[in-house]
């Protein structure tokens, strides 16, 4: 089945630095990937929709200059948390589906990245 | 306001007991999915239901889609510690082209 690889699984960084998280579709091409944020004991909150070859679509309240998304190829999307602060500490998860949008069928999730900003 | 409300939020029961988790909305959906998420991992798809009134079984898990396709339930028979996790329902929000998750039910099964 479809596999989505997310890297790194855990990262600790100093306040003020930037962190890049990668999301790769290993055996399929994905024109669209989604980035979620999850706080402890809560559900997943969609941050942005990453579109291959074009700008990402951000959800209301998500700072696009803070969370930079790049989807330069059909198998890779990256999320960069710029000038990270302790309040950015969270669990970040990506998902992808072979092909484009259209339904909720067939979306596969990465294993997540635990970001801790100290 | 949450598009998908799940209840209960938390549930802790003894091994061997039965339980039901609910996912409710005021909107109608063409399909609905259930996921299970373990700590430190991404959600894993359990099932997709598409037809009003549809019932799907996955071993000890029974999933039902409401007749009006606005709600769904997940019933677990003879719960085991391995069933522990966060259960999430999700739908494709076509008007916004994105997946929306429910508020989640955190299940803990005591040995």
Nearest chain B residue to A95 by CA distance is B42
CA distance A15 to A84: 5
Instruction: Write the CB contacts of A112 (distance below 8 Å, at least 6 apart in sequence).
Output: A6, A9, A38, A91, A92, A93, B40, B41, B42
- Mean pLDDT on A87-106: 78
Q: What pLDDT does residue B2 have?
A: 73
**Segment B51-87, tens digit of pLDDT:** 999 999 999 999 999 999 999 999 999 999 999 999 9
Nearest chain A residue to B99 by CA distance is A104
pLDDT confidence of A102, banded at 50, 70, 90?
low
CA B2 to chain centre: 15
Q: What pLDDT does residue A30 have?
A: 87
**Segment A26-82, tens digit of pLDDT:** 988 888 899 999 998 889 999 999 988 889 999 999 999 999 999 989 999 999 999
**Segment B10-27, tens digit of pLDDT:** 999 999 999 999 999 999
By 3-state DSSP, what share of chain B in percent is helix, strand and coil, each rounded to 5?
A: 5, 55, 45
Residues of B in contact with A112 (CB under 8 A): 40-42
Judge: A105–B31 Cβ closer than 8 Å, yes or no.
Answer: yes
Q: What pLDDT does residue A31 have?
A: 85
* Half-sphere exposure in the Cβ direction for A113 (13 Å, CA): 29
Q: What pLDDT does residue B70 have?
A: 95
Query: CB of B62 within 8 A of CB of B71?
Result: no
Instruction: Give the residue, B93 or B104, on which the prediction is more confident.
Output: B104
Query: CB of B90 within 8 A of CB of A104?
Result: yes
Q: What pLDDT does residue B1 have?
A: 60
Got the DSSP string for A98-111? SB-SS-STT-EE--
Q: What pLDDT does residue A2 have?
A: 81
Task: Assess whether pLDDT exceeds 60 at residue A104.
Answer: no
Report how many Cβ contacts below 8 Å link chain A to chain B: 57
Q: What pLDDT does residue A25 have?
A: 92
Task: Assess whether pLDDT exceeds 60 at residue B49.
Answer: yes
Burial A34-50 (b: 16+ CB within 10 A, else e): bbbbbeeeebbebbbbb
Q: Does B41 touch chain A (CB under 8 A)?
A: yes
């Amino acid at each position: 089945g479809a596999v989505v690889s997310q890297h790194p699984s855990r990262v600790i960084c100093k306040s003020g630095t930037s962190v890049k998280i990668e999301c790769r579709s290993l055996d399929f091409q994905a024109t669209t990937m989604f980035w979620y944020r999850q706080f402890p004991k809560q559900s997943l909150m969609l941050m942005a929709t990453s579109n291959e070859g074009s700008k990402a679509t951000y959800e209301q309240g998500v700072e696009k200059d803070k969370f930079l998304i790049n989807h330069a190829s059909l198998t890779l999307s990256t999320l960069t948390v710029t000038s990270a602060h302790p309040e950015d500490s969270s669990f970040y998860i990506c998902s992808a589906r072979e092909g484009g949008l259209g339904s909720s069928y067939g979306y596969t999730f990465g294993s997540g990245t635990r970001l801790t900003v100290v | 306001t949450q598009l998908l409300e799940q209840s209960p939020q938390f549930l802790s029961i003894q091994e061997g007991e039965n339980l039901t988790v609910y996912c409710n909305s005021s909107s109608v959906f063409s399909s609905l999915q259930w996921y299970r998420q373990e700590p430190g991992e991404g959600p894993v798809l359990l099932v997709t239901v598409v037809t009003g009134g549809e019932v799907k079984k996955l071993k000890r898990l029974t999933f039902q889609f409401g007749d009006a396709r606005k709600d769904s339930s997940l019933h677990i028979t003879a719960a085991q510690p391995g069933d522990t996790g966060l259960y999430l329902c999700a739908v494709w929000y076509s008007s916004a082209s994105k997946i929306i998750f429910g508020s989640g039910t955190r299940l803990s099964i005591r040995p």
